[in-house]
Amino acid sequence: MHQPDIVIIGGGFAGLSAAVALAERGLGVTLLEAKPTLGGRAYSFEDAESGDLVDNGQHVMMGCYHETLDFLDKIGTRDRLIVQRDLEIEVLDGPGRPALLKTAALPGPFHIAAGVMRYKHLSLRERLGVLSAGLRLLHMRRFAPDQLRRMTVAEFMTATAQGEQARRTFWHPLAVATLNEQPELASAALLAQVLKRAFFARRADSAFLYPRVGLSDLYCAAAREFIERHGGQVASHRIVDRLEFTDGLISGIRLRDGTGLRASYVIAAVPPPQLCRLLPDTIARDQFFARIEGLKSSPIICLHVWLDREVTNSAFVGFVGTVTQWLFNKRRIFRRHGARHPGYLSFVISGASELADLPNDELLKMVMSDLRAMVPAARSARLIKALVLKEKHATFAPDPVSDAARPTVKTVVPNLYLAGDWIQTGLPATIESAVIAGRSAAAAIQRRITNS
């Protein structure tokens, strides 16, 4: 049988998971990645000065990332994740004011209900209020989805009379961490989806998972090896300049270095602005693609800090009421591969539009001040060095308007498919969304080939 030429553009989670799925089915694929290394927005590198591995940003997954876990199983790296048995998060609301959000050893969703009922940052009344708002969110998701899709998280909080403390210590941290946007802008429908998948499902779906290796080591080389072992090709440092069309169908790919490739099917697994640049004007003007140009992005700021000593025993801690939202203790997280310095910490600030243009030293001052306020042991620690990484286009901005503008995997061009965390998967822009989109694009191509 004639093998169609399938080209995948982009070597992030979406492109790699699509390529793995097609290669596994014996279909020849060629994956082209612009950068010298694979990994897209989820990568790590070695810091030359300290010798430590640095993730571009700490990535946390959840037990409900079923497609991602299956992808990691396929490429043989699932055991590079630390997997919590039950969701367990220490949340600090000021120094010496910790509370544990821990799900109980009960079947879902009773596990999360019991967890909320034991969450000490809330009064009994507030805990009951949170549970009732959670149920209301799921009810609206099912019976009033259009109304919910138009609402922001903040509007939903007001509609369900959530008080200041419930917002500060529960809803806002949850929404910002999972949606990467402030509650005043983030879509309530996406929060409902997170709630349904992560908390109103199996007990194990709520648990946190995070790599105990550098992020790139979790999947990049292993995915490449899988694809090549199954007859596919992976080429990095290949910038695709444009898609070439004949009679309304893609016939080839033109690279920036002038070389060309034939293509029977293409999966564009690149973010929205890059996709728009690949299309000829006549195609880009089609309503299907034109609306993509309106998608905005939302930044995440990560600060990596090396102190002269370890200041917390926890692997990670949530901060409430500070600019800094999360502290990750890289020494604990990289426990087997060993962060070389005992005081290697990473801090995350999501939904950071208002901070992204601040100078790095100002951001560092804020984070160090938050750390010293929240963790008394850090007050006497000496800062050895710091690295500030701003991902200005970390994810698309998950406001109701942008969420409605997300396209499907199939496009108006019959042999062009899209993949990426920003495709309409019903989920926020996460690794799981990227993998779902990548695998759906692969499955759609396989169906087309089987039926042709």
User: Which residues are CB-contacts of 58 (< 8 A; sequence separation ≥ 6)?
Assistant: 210, 302, 316, 326, 328, 333, 346, 348
Binding residues among 214-243 for ligand FAD as defined by CB under 6 A:
239-240
Q: Of 11-19, 103-111, 167-175, 366-374, which part binds ligand FAD (CB under 6 A)?
A: 11-19
With respect to ligand FAD, which residue has the nearer C-beta, 115 or 420? Answer: 420
Establish if 40 lies at the interface with ligand FAD (CB under 6 A): yes
Of the candidate residues 430, 436, 439, 442, the single one contacting ligand FAD (CB under 6 A): 430
Establish if 343 lies at the interface with ligand FAD (CB under 6 A): no
Establish if 89 lies at the interface with ligand FAD (CB under 6 A): no
**3-class secondary structure per residue, the chain:** CCCCCEEEECCCHHHHHHHHHHHHCCCCEEEECCCCCCCCCCCEEECCCCCCEEECCCCCEECCCHHHHHHHHHHCCHHHEEECCCCEEEEECCCCCEEEEECCCCCCCHHHHHHHHCCCCCCHHHHHHHHHHHHHHHHHHHHCHHHHHCCEHHHHHHHCCCCHHHHHHHHHHHHHHHHCCCCCCCEHHHHHHHHHHHHCCCHHHHCEEEECCCHHHHHHHHHHHHHHHCCCEEECCCCEEEEEEECCEEEEEEECCCCEEECCEEEECCCHHHHHHHCCHHHHCCHHHHHHHHCCEEEEEEEEEEECCCCCCCCEEEECCCCCCEEEEHHHHCCCCCCCCCEEEEEEECCCCCCCCCCHHHHHHHHHHHHHHHCHHHHHCCEEEEEEEEEEEEEECCCHHHHHHCCCCECCCCCEEECCCCCCCCCCCCHHHHHHHHHHHHHHHHHHHHHC
Of the candidate residues 18, 19, 23, 33, the single one contacting ligand FAD (CB under 6 A): 33
Establish if 442 lies at the interface with ligand FAD (CB under 6 A): no
With respect to ligand FAD, which residue has the nearer C-beta, 356 or 384? Answer: 356
CB of 125 to ligand FAD, least distance (A): 32
| Strands 326-329 vs 316-319: parallel, antiparallel or unpaired | antiparallel
With respect to ligand FAD, which residue has the nearer C-beta, 165 or 360? Answer: 360
With respect to ligand FAD, which residue has the nearer C-beta, 60 or 371? Answer: 60
Q: How many residues bind ligand FAD (CB under 6 A)?
A: 36
Establish if 190 lies at the interface with ligand FAD (CB under 6 A): no
Establish if 13 lies at the interface with ligand FAD (CB under 6 A): yes
Binding residues among 252-311 for ligand FAD as defined by CB under 6 A:
269-271, 274, 300, 302
Of the candidate residues 14, 116, 189, 349, the single one contacting ligand FAD (CB under 6 A): 14
Binding residues among 303-342 for ligand FAD as defined by CB under 6 A:
none
Q: Which tokens belong to 391? A: 């991902």
Of the candidate residues 420, 425, 440, 445, the single one contacting ligand FAD (CB under 6 A): 420
Of the candidate residues 157, 283, 394, 397, the single one contacting ligand FAD (CB under 6 A): 394
With respect to ligand FAD, which residue has the nearer C-beta, 10 or 400? Answer: 10
| Strands 249-255 vs 343-349: parallel, antiparallel or unpaired | unpaired
Q: Of 29-37, 112-120, 129-137, 309-317, which part binds ligand FAD (CB under 6 A)?
A: 29-37
Of the candidate residues 434, 436, 442, 445, the single one contacting ligand FAD (CB under 6 A): 434
Q: Of 119-127, 137-145, 316-324, 391-399, which part binds ligand FAD (CB under 6 A)?
A: 391-399
Closest residue to ligand FAD, based on beta-carbon distance: 40
Establish if 395 lies at the interface with ligand FAD (CB under 6 A): yes
Establish if 10 lies at the interface with ligand FAD (CB under 6 A): yes
Establish if 182 lies at the interface with ligand FAD (CB under 6 A): no
Binding site for ligand FAD (CB under 6 A): 9-15, 32-35, 40-42, 56-57, 59-61, 239-240, 269-271, 274, 300, 302, 391, 394-395, 420-421, 429-431, 434
